[in-house]
């Protein structure tokens, strides 16, 4: 194994000295969850992370219209300073020579403390989440290749998240999830439904920072058609709601990514029973030491 150090900079370069990343070479990398020609595992080297960044660029920038910086446009990679310290779940399809067709970024408390923060803190006051005494984990940068946006792919990703969460005793998961477009009026029905029916309990509730805050409850609860509102939600947010997820107080307009963001919170002990049983069964099977080893700061590997 080779020791490599990365720094917190404004660029994706991996040859600068500074903060050590978490060891990526754990057993789960080499014991993936397999479904047909696809498999899910943790990224185990820089090439895996770069492939995930390439997929994110195609989805976020080329498909969804995010505004790229000159360096991002030149590289054609979606990157930020959190990539070097986070874990990355990747779904690869061996029918496409191992191309990454789905990804999720995971960052636990210990890693964030070493690094100095969470991505969500750019948009939300997450002090109540940080104050939670148990293990917490930020979820982010989720995307799937357009050809693979099926229930099966999302279930595969959720199996991986569940296995990872159970292995590391994660009790609280959170992160920003997006509705397409930067006009909150367009999403008034969906945002109002989330506000009236799925707001997180006060002890877990993040709040949009004052300079970003967009009120979500524009429509009164008596004017919200729940069925119509849910139909207008992106599949990812629907998935969070199905397992008992909540939203924070206030939405945020992300002009760069052309999205309207909400902060999702999932308290794993409160996950809807039938989903909990399903994911617990999978996670208990996959979350043993055979699949996950204890991790320590300071190491990564190259392919």
Q: Using one digit for the tens of pLDDT, what is the confidence trace for 35-92?
A: 788 899 999 889 999 999 999 999 999 999 999 999 999 999 999 999 999 999 999 9
pLDDT for residue 9 is more than 60: no
- Range with lowest mean pLDDT among 28-42, 51-65, 112-126, 178-192: 28-42
Q: Is residue 13 part of a domain?
A: no
Q: Is residue 303 part of a domain?
A: no
pLDDT for residue 179 is more than 80: yes
pLDDT band at residue 283, thresholds of 50, 70 and 90?
low
Q: Is residue 12 part of a domain?
A: no
Q: Is residue 292 part of a domain?
A: no
What average pLDDT does range 103-129 have in this prediction?
Answer: 95
- What is the spatial distance between Cα 269 and Cα 257, in angstroms, rounded to a whole number? 32
Q: Is residue 159 part of a domain?
A: yes
Q: Is residue 294 part of a domain?
A: no
Q: Is residue 110 part of a domain?
A: yes
What average pLDDT does range 141-166 have in this prediction?
Answer: 89
- What is the spatial distance between Cα 126 and Cα 50, in angstroms, rounded to a whole number? 29
**Per residue in 251-282, pLDDT tens?**
999 999 999 999 999 998 877 555 555 555 55
**Per residue in 71-86, pLDDT tens?**
999 999 999 999 999 9
Secondary structure string (H, E, C) spanning the chain: CCCCECCCCCCCCCCCCCCECECCCCHHHHCCEEECCEEEEECCCHHHHHHHHHHHHHHHHHHCCCCCCHHHHHHCCCCCCCCCCCEEEEEEEHHHCCEEEEEEEEEEHHHHHHHCCCHHHHCEECHHHHCCCCEEEEEEEEEECHHHCCHHHHHHHHHHHHHHHHHCCEEEEEEEEEEECCCHHHHHHHHHHHHHHCECCHHHCCEECCCCCECCCCCCHHHCCHHHHHHCCCHHHHHHHHCCCEECECEEEECCCCEEEEEEEEEHHHCCHHHHHHHHHHHHHHCCCCCCCCCCECCCCCC
- Range with lowest mean pLDDT among 1-5, 103-107, 235-239: 1-5
pLDDT at 294: 32
pLDDT for residue 185 is more than 60: yes
Q: Is residue 277 part of a domain?
A: yes
- The pTM score is 0.82
For a pLDDT cut of 90, what percent of the chain falls above it?
A: 63
Q: What is the CATH number of the domain that holds 130?
A: 3.40.630.30
Question: How many domains would you assign to the chain?
Answer: 1
Q: Residue 89 is part of which domain span?
A: 27-286
pLDDT for residue 14 is more than 50: no
């Amino acid at each position: 194994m080779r020791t490599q150090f990365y720094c917190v900079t404004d660029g994706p370069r991996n040859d600068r000295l500074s903060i050590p990343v978490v060891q990526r070479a754990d057993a789960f990398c080499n014991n993936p969850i397999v479904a047909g020609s696809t498999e899910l595992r943790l990224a185990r080297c820089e090439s895996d992370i770069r492939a995930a960044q390439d997929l994110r660029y195609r989805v976020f920038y080329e498909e969804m219209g995010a505004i790229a910086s000159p360096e991002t446009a030149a590289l054609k990679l979606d990157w930020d300073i959190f990539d070097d310290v986070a874990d990355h779940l990747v779904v690869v399809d061996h029918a496409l020579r191992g191309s990454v067709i789905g990804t999720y970024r995971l960052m636990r408390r210990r890693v964030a403390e070493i690094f100095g923060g969470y991505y969500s803190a750019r948009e939300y006051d997450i002090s109540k989440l940080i104050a939670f005494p148990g293990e917490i984990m930020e979820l982010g940068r989720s995307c799937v290749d357009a050809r693979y946006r099926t229930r099966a792919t999302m279930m595969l990703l959720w199996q991986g998240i569940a296995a990872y969460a159970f292995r590391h005793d994660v009790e609280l998961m959170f992160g920003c999830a997006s509705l397409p477009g930067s006009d909150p009026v367009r999403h008034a029905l969906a945002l109002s439904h989330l506000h009236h029916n799925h707001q997180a309990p006060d002890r877990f509730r993040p709040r949009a920072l004052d300079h970003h805050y967009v009120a979500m409850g524009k429509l009164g609860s008596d004017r919200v058609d729940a069925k119509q509102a849910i139909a207008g939600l992106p599949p990812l947010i629907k998935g969070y709601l199905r397992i008992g997820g909540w939203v924070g107080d206030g939405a945020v307009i992300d002009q760069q990514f052309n999205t309207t963001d909400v902060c999702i919170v999932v308290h794993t002990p409160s996950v809807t029973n039938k989903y909990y049983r399903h994911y617990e069964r999978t996670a208990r099977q996959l979350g043993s030491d055979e699949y996950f080893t204890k991790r320590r700061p300071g190491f990564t590997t190259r392919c």
